[in-house]
Amino acid sequence: MDGLIKALSDVVIGGGGGHDGENEARDERSRSSWAQVVSGDQDNEERPPSQWRKQEQSQQDGEGWQVSGSRPSRRPQKAEYEGYEKDERDERHAYNQNEWSRKEQENENNDGWETVGRKPRRRPQKVHMDNWQGYKRAPSEQEYADEVGTGAGIEPSEEELEDLSQACNRLWQLDLNRLEPGKDYQIDCGEGKKVYQKEDMAEESLFYSLSEDIFRKPTFSRFCALLDNYNPNAGCKEVVTAEEKQEQSAFIEEISRTAPIKYLHRYLSLKGIVSENYQDFKRMLTKLWFDLYGRGGTSGSSSAFEHVFVGEIKQRGEEEVTGFHNWLQFYLEEAKGRVDYQGYILPRRRGETPDSETQLLTIQFEWNGVLKAVSSTLVGVSPEFELALYTLCLFVGGEDNHVQLGPYSVNIKCYRFGDKIGSVFPIAES
């Protein structure tokens, strides 16, 4: 009986899928965590089942995605971290984590797969991936979108060169691929909650609909093609195939044709931070975001791209989701039934309740049955905008970067890991 229970547990934990012929290889690859839990108040009480626990599901689609059931939810844990796990700890502190205590926890309670969520969906979605396989071709066989026009539109002003906030707001204005709420997508924020509350306050999935045309945008589709290159579970070193390296280079080449990346290059070159040679700049971006480094003592187990955009599940100590700040990754994982949205985090000020038009969200969710107690994400922005924004803050800003992004006052938290990005994410400012 013990063996049967362990086998079923392994199936649930490893329920993620991949493309045909890659599942076994990717199952062998997993990620180490940002740092090891070294101390803290661990709550050993038995954890109640998730409110939305369902029968285990298993559905294989034409592209090889495997949809699996999820495990019982976990009660949020209070833990102290050292080293570069600091990013997740500080994100929680930004939302009044003095309330997080045991006492309060006891008192507060081949083309076109159809999405299947843990919660009832109002409208099934499809993602057309017919062109994604072409991204694995040799560089000489790749086809890219036309370059955006250059000129005054991407030339930083003197004021922007002196003020990071103005530069970031300019990036927001240059994000020509940013989606329009209500037109390109619809979300349902559900009900609000405190970070420490364990109840699921969202009766529906976060995403109600997303236009199929979005996945035909070159930068969006190339970004999504990268997401299945990673196994988020901590563990062994990553093995990067030649095809995956080509996907990385092709993604950087695609976004380098857009206004936000051209502005980023012009800004950093005028500051004397990067070479004026655009090819050198693109190689730098590829290394910065995709080169592997170690987390939690395992070398070659992580990258900036994986942590920030894909997410990782820390295995040492109490399981915990770290990173995972991208809305496209959230949409796709929710569509496959791996993400359970559990509500937004209540803002500290009244009158700031998010709605279907909000593009900066602070939320709570489970990924593969593991809790992300608080996470913030910019909804509807393009991949090129996010990468440009975070790269700019890394080179020009500090750990805290208080900037304006259109209507939003945001603190871009940026943690360095030597000369690399350890973690970076937005926090809404009150």
pLDDT tens digits, one per residue of 364-400: 999 999 999 999 999 999 999 999 999 999 999 999 9
Q: Confirm whether 65 is domain-assigned.
A: no
Domain for residue 406, yes or no? yes
What confidence tier does 143 reach under pLDDT thresholds 50, 70, 90?
Answer: confident
**Per-residue pLDDT band at 126 (split at 50, 70, 90):** low
Amino acid at 95: Y
Q: Is position 74 within any domain? A: no
Contact predicate 52/43, CB 8 Å: no
Catalytic residue among 265, 307, 336, 413: 307
Tokens found for residue 180 = 């329009």
What is the rounded distance in angstroms from the CA atom of residue 291 to the CA atom of residue 298? Answer: 14
How far CA 317 is from CA of 33, 63, 192, 380, 409, in Å, comes to 10, 34, 29, 34, 35
pLDDT of 110: 37
DSSP-based three-state secondary structure for 12: helix
53 within a domain of the structure (yes/no) = no
Tell me if 189 sits within 8 A of 361, measured CB to CB.
Answer: yes
Pick the closest to residue 423 from 21, 165, 85, 13 (CA basis): 85
Nearest to 340 by CA among 321, 315, 359: 321
How confident is the model at residue 236, as a pLDDT? 57
> Total domain count for the chain?
1
Residue 79 falls inside a structural domain: no
More confident of the two residues 51 and 133: 133
DSSP label of 206: S
**Quick one: residue 184, left, alpha or beta (phi over 0 = left, psi -120 to 50 = alpha)?**
alpha
**Nearest residue to 340 (alpha-carbon basis) of 316, 318, 365:** 365
CB 308 within 8 A of CB 316: no
> How many other C-beta atoms can be found within 10 angstroms of the C-beta atom of residue 272?
8
Say which amino acid occupies 40.
G
Alpha carbons 360 and 400: distance in angstroms, whole number: 17
Collapsed DSSP state (helix, strand, coil) of residue 139:
helix
In the chain, what percentage of residues exceed pLDDT 70? 66
Asked whether residue 402 is assigned to any structural domain, the reply reads yes
Which pair of structure tokens corresponds to residue 63?
């592209």
**CA dihedral in degrees (156, 159, 162, 163; nearest 10)?**
-100
pLDDT band at 291 (very low <50, low <70, confident <90, very high): very high
**Cα 409 from Cα 121, distance rounded (Å):** 32
Mean pLDDT for 323-341 is 95
Is pTM beyond 0.75? Reply is no
Q: Find out whether 377 and 426 touch, Cβ atoms under 8 Å.
A: yes
Residue 372 designated active-site: yes
Whether 226 is in a domain gets the answer yes
| Residue 43 in tokens | 């709550």
Active site annotation includes 93 = no
Q: Which residue of the set 262, 325, 336, 413 is catalytic?
A: 325
Whole-number pLDDT of residue 235:
61
Between CA 185 and CA 220 the distance in angstroms is: 14
Question: Is the per-residue pLDDT at 108 higher than 60?
Answer: no
- Please tell me the number of Cα atoms within 13 Å of 71 on its side-chain side: 21
Domain holding 320, by residue range, is 84-109+131-428
DSSP 197: -
CA distance 420 to 291: 9
Task: Inform me whether the pLDDT recorded for 287 exceeds 80.
Answer: yes
Whether 402 is catalytic is no
277: exposed, middle or buried (Cβ count in 10 Å: 0-12, 13-18, 19+): exposed
